[in-house]
Chain A
Amino acid sequence: MTNFIIRRLIQNFITLIALSFICFSILALMPGDPVDLMMSANPKITTDDVARLKALYGLDQPIYMRYYNWMAQVVQGDLGYSRTYKVPVTEIIGPRLLNTFFLLTGALLLAIIVAIPLGVVAAVKSGSKLDYYINLMAFAGISIPSFWLALILIIVFSLNLGWFPAGGTETIGVNLTGFEYFLDRLKYMMLPILSLTIIQMGIFARYARSAMLETLKADYVRTARSKGISRIPVIMKHAFRNALIPIVTVIAINFSFIFSGAIITETIFSYQGVGKLVYDAILANDFNVAMVSFMISVGMVLFMSLVADLLYGFLDPRISYN
């Protein structure tokens, strides 16, 4: 077990390094750099100044040299300075990360809590009207583009009904503490979470349903019934425990989709998370911020797949990591 985790962590580390190079190159290949932006903002700048600035920031060097320089700094614990926020990257990334963490956890939990039971019910009652409606909702959820859904949610729940704010992270200018602070944050998170989860709900419900349909037909379920065990324990203990294995896979895979969905969602709702940070950083050529955000998202996805692998070992005794 420990060996497995160590091996996987090493693999993840190598993946992370490789991806950091790819991300860095893509950013560097984008047209324009910070100095070009400065040029457009300051008409009095001369070509000599531009050349001097580019040399100063190392922007005249080839990509691999720039990557090497960036890496050398990162290894020393220096993530660089944000060009747009005028503070070290470490200072802005912390709170942003926490905001996104709340959003993603909320979205993931909500999707699991709602969708898995729906999928199970649909499978148990397969062919019934209920199954039909759950399927219909699931497909609708999967097909809705999240940015469109986000706009509709804003129109309905904040413009028309006025229940939730249309954007932001927390009420500005009031000092709330404890539970009131939590409620305030929750109010701002509701719509982003909803627009993030509806697609995931559809996907999870579909997978839970098909996994359950499979296990409900299994021989061991019939064996359990032949022992005289009642319906609900047969479904929950015998069928659902086996169905959990594919369900966990889908949840882990989808985590990366939720994360990329967060970029769009956070931008639409001006929610101050890493997703919005990435978006702003790319638009503003703020390389240092963008790179760190990339690395964090890649790291999270890698971490989730490790968690999923460990969960398999826990859920399925046939899988052993020794």
Chain B
Amino acid sequence: MSETILEVKNLRTTFRTKAGDVHAVDGISYSITKGRTLGIVGESGCGKSVTSFSIMGLLENPGEITGGEILFKGEKISHLKDEQLLKYRGQHMAMIFQEPMTALNPVIRIGEQINEQFIKHRPHLSSKEVKEHSIEMLNLVGIPSPEERYKSYPHQLSGGMRQRALIAMALSCDPEFLIADEPTTALDVTIQAQILDLIQDLQNRLGMAVQFITHDLGVISEVADDILVMYAGRVCEQGSADEIFKKPSHPYTHALLNSIPKLGHKVHRLPTIEGTVPSIANRPSGCQFKNRCEFATDICGEKQPEFTEISSTHKWLATTLGARDR
């Protein structure tokens, strides 16, 4: 058993709004071990990004962690103050963001933005060494003529190049844990593939644990070792990638998989999941998915769903019988 890098236990993240407390993340648990990739899937608004921000300590007011804990290599970090988290951020854990167009500061040169991290976490380096390291990172992520790009401003780079620069920045201090929050969503398909390859390649080289967030199951099938399916702030199914793709149990997982277009299958219309995620401010009782579930019965509204284990690694949040059994 390899080393556990990140462990999330019963995490609950609450936004204290005027309309009352809203639990954007409501009691989720998982762990990631060294060198493995956990894919978190779910549609918009199900709490994927809030989970990542909770780990990184980047929650914006009025959001805060109100329950459970987050352990980084066995050390509890969920209660730490912003200043105490600074040494983790960028050094031990790093994050790549969704929008390469806006995630880089438009008025600061690419090189300087990478330098910052070395200056913060590697204070013993001279300014010349810092520059060398930054250029080396740009080279590592496959940016052509890195010396020139070092002096470029973000707007002088294409979307794919910017995402590469962001990856260079995130990985500059050899983090043990990387959160990739939909890193390919804003890119076109050919660039997507390149970026995915790059992340996987760097993961193999540096042995990082990766938490990969996406709503694209195609992407997940390529990168993830384990998968966590989230719905309305909760985990509705988790297991290894094989288990999830071969034996989806929760009706939501099933529906998600059904909505991927398949080569060679002629369909009149692509199946979709009708309706939307229930508003987090107004969660129904019982199963959260019942209003959109084709298998829903009366019991779904009454009984709180519980985790059913299929194997030691595979479990799902069940009220009625799983879609698998139908």
In the bound complex, residues from chain B placing their C-beta under 8 Å from that of A318 are: 106, 153, 155
In the bound complex, residues from chain A placing their C-beta under 8 Å from that of B121 are: 228
Given contacts A227-B120, A228-B121, A229-B116, contact A219 B103 (CB under 8 A): yes
Cβ contact within 8 Å between B108 and A228: no
- Chain B residues numbered 59-115 whose CB sits less than 8 Å from any CB in chain A: 60-61, 82-83, 86-91, 94-95, 97, 99, 102-109
Given contacts A228-B120, A229-B116, contact A223 B90 (CB under 8 A): no
In the bound complex, residues from chain A placing their C-beta under 8 Å from that of B120 are: 227-230
Interface string of A197-226 (1 = CB under 8 A from B): 000000000000000000001111011111
When chains A and B are docked, how far (Å) is the Cα of A172 from the Cα of B308?
A: 94
Interface string of B208-241 (1 = CB under 8 A from A): 0000000000000000000000000000000000
Given contacts A220-B106, A242-B106, A316-B107, contact A227 B56 (CB under 8 A): no
In the bound complex, residues from chain A placing their C-beta under 8 Å from that of B87 are: 228
Cβ contact within 8 Å between A228 and B107: no
When chains A and B are docked, how far (Å) is the Cα of A231 from the Cα of B89?
A: 13
With both chains docked as a complex, state the minimum distance between the C-beta of A221 and any C-beta of chain B, in angstroms.
Answer: 8
Cβ contact within 8 Å between B104 and A220: yes
Of A127, A222, A226, the contact of B94 (CB 8 Å cutoff): A226
Cβ contact within 8 Å between B103 and A223: yes
Cβ contact within 8 Å between B90 and A316: no
Q: Does B13 contact A (CB under 8 A)?
A: no
Q: Does A52 contact B (CB under 8 A)?
A: no
With both chains docked as a complex, state the minimum distance between the C-beta of B261 and any C-beta of chain A, in angstroms.
Answer: 31
| CB-CB nearest in chain B for A222 | B58
Cβ contact within 8 Å between B89 and A225: yes
- Chain B residues numbered 28-49 whose CB sits less than 8 Å from any CB in chain A: none
Q: Does A241 contact B (CB under 8 A)?
A: yes
| CB-CB nearest in chain B for A316 | B107
Number of interface residues of B (CB under 8 A): 33
Q: Does B166 contact A (CB under 8 A)?
A: yes
In the bound complex, residues from chain B placing their C-beta under 8 Å from that of A218 are: 102
Cβ contact within 8 Å between A241 and B103: no
With both chains docked as a complex, state the minimum distance between the C-beta of B176 and any C-beta of chain A, in angstroms.
Answer: 14
With both chains docked as a complex, state the minimum distance between the C-beta of A233 and any C-beta of chain B, in angstroms.
Answer: 8
Cβ contact within 8 Å between A228 and B86: yes
| CB-CB nearest in chain A for B152 | A317
In the bound complex, residues from chain B placing their C-beta under 8 Å from that of A316 are: 106-107
Q: Does A315 contact B (CB under 8 A)?
A: yes
Cβ contact within 8 Å between B106 and A225: no
With both chains docked as a complex, state the minimum distance between the C-beta of A73 and any C-beta of chain B, in angstroms.
Answer: 49
With both chains docked as a complex, state the minimum distance between the C-beta of B150 and any C-beta of chain A, in angstroms.
Answer: 14
- Chain B residues numbered 137-155 whose CB sits less than 8 Å from any CB in chain A: 153, 155
When chains A and B are docked, how far (Å) is the Cα of A67 from the Cα of B91?
A: 72
Given contacts A219-B103, A223-B104, A317-B107, contact A228 B58 (CB under 8 A): no
When chains A and B are docked, how far (Å) is the Cα of A228 from the Cα of B109?
A: 18
Q: Does A276 contact B (CB under 8 A)?
A: no
Cβ contact within 8 Å between A230 and B56: no
Cβ contact within 8 Å between B108 and A238: yes
Of A127, A223, A230, A231, the contact of B105 (CB 8 Å cutoff): A223
When chains A and B are docked, how far (Å) is the Cα of A227 from the Cα of B117?
A: 6
| CB-CB nearest in chain A for B112 | A237
Cβ contact within 8 Å between B108 and A241: yes
Given contacts A219-B103, A317-B153, contact A227 B90 (CB under 8 A): yes
Among A223, A224, A226, A241, chain B packs the most CB atoms within 10 A around the CB of A226
In the bound complex, residues from chain A placing their C-beta under 8 Å from that of B117 are: 227-229
In the bound complex, residues from chain A placing their C-beta under 8 Å from that of B90 are: 226-229
Given contacts A228-B87, A229-B116, contact A223 B106 (CB under 8 A): no
| CB-CB nearest in chain B for A219 | B102
When chains A and B are docked, how far (Å) is the Cα of A227 from the Cα of B85?
A: 11
In the bound complex, residues from chain B placing their C-beta under 8 Å from that of A315 are: 107
When chains A and B are docked, how far (Å) is the Cα of A227 from the Cα of B153?
A: 19
Cβ contact within 8 Å between A219 and B97: yes
Cβ contact within 8 Å between B103 and A220: yes
When chains A and B are docked, how far (Å) is the Cα of A26 from the Cα of B91?
A: 68
Q: Does B169 contact A (CB under 8 A)?
A: yes
Cβ contact within 8 Å between A241 and B89: no
Among A127, A224, A230, A231, chain B packs the most CB atoms within 10 A around the CB of A224
- Chain A residues numbered 272-307 whose CB sits less than 8 Å from any CB in chain B: none
With both chains docked as a complex, state the minimum distance between the C-beta of A67 and any C-beta of chain B, in angstroms.
Answer: 47
In the bound complex, residues from chain A placing their C-beta under 8 Å from that of B170 are: 226
| CB-CB nearest in chain B for A238 | B105
In the bound complex, residues from chain A placing their C-beta under 8 Å from that of B106 are: 220, 242, 316-318
With both chains docked as a complex, state the minimum distance between the C-beta of A314 and any C-beta of chain B, in angstroms.
Answer: 10
Nearest 10 CB-CB pairings of A with B: A228-B90, A228-B89, A227-B90, A219-B102, A220-B105, A317-B153, A226-B95, A219-B103, A223-B103, A227-B117
Name 28 interchain pairs, CB-CB below 8 A, sorted by A: A220-B102, A220-B104, A220-B105, A224-B116, A225-B89, A226-B89, A226-B90, A227-B90, A227-B116, A227-B169, A228-B89, A228-B121, A229-B86, A229-B116, A229-B117, A229-B120, A230-B83, A230-B86, A230-B120, A238-B108, A242-B105, A242-B107, A315-B107, A316-B107, A317-B109, A317-B155, A318-B153, A318-B155
